Structures are given as structure tokens and as C-alpha cells.
């Protein structure tokens, strides 16, 4: 089931639409981990993530999870998702304070950082990681598909404190050494390796995978089952909080 909700954001100064997926067996008598998804409309239509979650639960490959899909307008994407964007700080506050608060109030969630996972592709991966860096007690887990990291962003991440409670899954394609972006052509293979080094130095639990493919939804959609198994494939894994 997917429910559409409109939140009037104090921080963004706008009405924001979010889409909340609950599993077939959802019951308020239980509590569930929550997956917060950037580029929410794309992950629903191109990633087919809601359908994938249902199938993996039915096949006993994953546990039940609530997923919050956060659509973004193309014109706002860079301003919200990039740390240099004019709305970046406000968007992180909207996500960490307003969205999480709403979801925890209205759904049967497990209100622990270790039960909240952020997911995003490209710049969506960037904002996912930097939201966790800014709110380490709110979000304990991050998955970045082809995160658009460069040396400047790695340097910014290096200014954060210890990240011992953070688990990060990075993946990048073996054809992503020259990806054209609004910030120029980026070597995302190098960028993700550099970011991985920073995160490990800070104490985060890190997995860095290289897949065969490029910076496209065909690759990201194909890799989603691996990410779901990583974070939700083992019942009660998310309950642990160091």
C-alpha cells in the first residue's frame, strides 16, 4: 500500500508531497525499520522499488520495511541535494526533523537511528550521506548508488566527527570514470574510493562494491536487490545499536 501525504514544511517554506509504502503484512502491533528514498518518484517508476520490496518479502529474502519516497522537482534537485545548494541545509532539516517526526508519529516504526536507512542515486546519494553526517543519531545507515562524490565533498565529509555508529554502503560502476554532470565530468570511481577512505578513517562500517555498468537506472535497478538484502535481509539486524 502507498499513501500520499502532503507536509507543510517550515524549513523549505513549501508544501511537500511524500509517498509512504507499507508492506502487505503491516500491523500497528509491530514496529518496522524505515527506508528513506531520495528521487522518490524515480525509485518508484524506474527502480520499481515498492514492487521489489513486496517480492523479496514474499520470497523470504527480506524482512518487512516501511519505505518513504521523497519526490523532487528537477529544478530543485541541485539546490537541495548538493551541499553547496541554497536549499541544502533546509532540506536536510526537513528530512531529519519534519519527515521523520511525521512518520514516527503516524506509523509503527522503530524510532532508532539504526532502524533508519537513507537511499539515493548520484546526487541523491550525496544528500543521503550528508544528511546522515549532519544527523548521526537520526540516521544510522546509508546506501549510495553511484554517489556523485568529488574531492571537495570528500574534504567536507572529513570535517565531520567520529562515525562509529554509521553503516554505509557505496556502489559505483566500472564505467563511471568520466560521468558528465552539472558540475563537469566526474571520476566517480575515484570519488567513491576517496569517500570510502574518509568514512573508514572516521570509524564508519563501510562496504564499497563495484558493479559492471554505468551511470544509468538500468544498473541501479538491477543492484537494488543486493542493497535490500544487505540492510534488510537478516531479521532483527537493524535492532542492534552500538
Quick: pLDDT tens for 222-238: 999 999 999 999 554 44
Distance CA 77, CA 191 (A): 20
Q: List pLDDT tens digits, range 66-97.
A: 999 999 999 999 999 999 999 999 999 999 99
For the chain, how far is it from start to end, CA to CA, in angstroms?
Answer: 33
**What per-residue confidence (pLDDT) applies to 239?**
41
Q: Which three cell numbers stand for residue 183?
A: 558540475
**Residue written as cell 556523485?**
148
Distances 68 to 4, 40, 73, 78, 138 between C-alpha atoms, Å:
10, 8, 17, 20, 15
> Looking at the predicted structure, is the pLDDT value of residue 183 above 90?
no
**Helix boundaries (H) for 59-150:** 74-81, 88-93, 100-106, 123-134
Q: Secondary structure of the chain: what % helix, strand, coil (to 5)? A: 40, 25, 35
Distance CA 133, CA 165 (A): 11
Question: According to CATH, what is the number of the domain 2-234?
Answer: 3.40.50.1820
| pTM for this model (two decimals) | 0.95
- Please report the sign of the dihedral spanned by the C-alpha atoms of residue 154, residue 136, residue 125, residue 81: negative
Distance CA 68, CA 20 (A): 5
Q: Which three cell numbers stand for residue 79?
A: 539546490
* 220 Ramachandran zone, left/alpha/beta (phi>0; psi -120 to 50): alpha
Q: List pLDDT tens digits, range 104-136.
A: 999 999 999 999 999 999 999 999 999 999 999
What lies within 8 Å, CB to CB, of 221 at 6+ separation is 46, 47, 48
Amino acid at each position: 500500500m502507498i499513501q500520499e501525504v502532503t507536509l507543510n514544511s517550515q524549513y523549505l517554506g513549501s508544501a511537500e508531497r511524500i509517498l509512504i509504502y507499507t508492506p502487505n503484512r503491516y500491523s500497528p502491533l509491530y514496529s518496522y525499520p524505515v527506508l528513506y528514498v531520495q528521487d522518490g518518484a524515480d525509485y518508484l517508476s524506474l527502480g520499481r522499488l515498492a514492487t521489489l520490496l513486496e517480492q523479496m518479502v514474499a520470497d523470504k529474502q527480506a524482512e518487512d520495511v516501511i519505505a518513504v519516497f521523497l519526490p523532487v522537482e528537477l529544478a530543485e534537485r541541485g539546490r537541495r541535494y548538493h551541499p553547496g545548494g541554497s536549499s541544502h541545509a533546509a532540506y536536510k532539516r526537513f528530512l531529519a526533523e519534519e519527515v521523520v517526526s511525521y512518520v514516527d508519529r503516524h506509523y509503527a516504526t522503530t524510532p532508532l537511528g539504526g532502524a533508519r536507512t537513507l537511499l539515493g542515486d548520484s546526487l541523491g546519494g550525496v544528500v543521503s550521506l550528508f544528511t546522515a553526517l549532519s544527523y548521526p543519531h537520526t540516521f544510522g545507515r546509508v546506501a549510495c548508488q553511484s554517489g556523485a562524490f568529488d574531492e571537495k565533498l570528500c574534504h567536507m565529509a572529513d570535517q565531520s566527527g567520529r562515525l562509529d555508529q554509521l553503516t554505509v554502503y557505496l556502489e559505483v560502476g566500472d564505467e563511471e570514470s568520466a560521468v558528465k554532470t552539472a558540475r563537469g565530468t566526474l571520476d566517480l570511481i575515484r570519488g567513491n574510493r576517496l569517500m570510502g577512505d574518509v568514512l573508514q578513517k572516521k570509524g564508519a562500517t563501510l562496504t564499497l562494491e563495484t558493479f559492471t555498468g554505468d551511470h544509468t537506472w538500468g544498473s541501479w535497478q538491477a543492484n537494488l536487490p543486493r542493497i535490500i538484502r544487505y540492510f534488510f535481509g537478516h531479521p532483527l539486524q537493524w535492532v542492534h545499536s552500538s
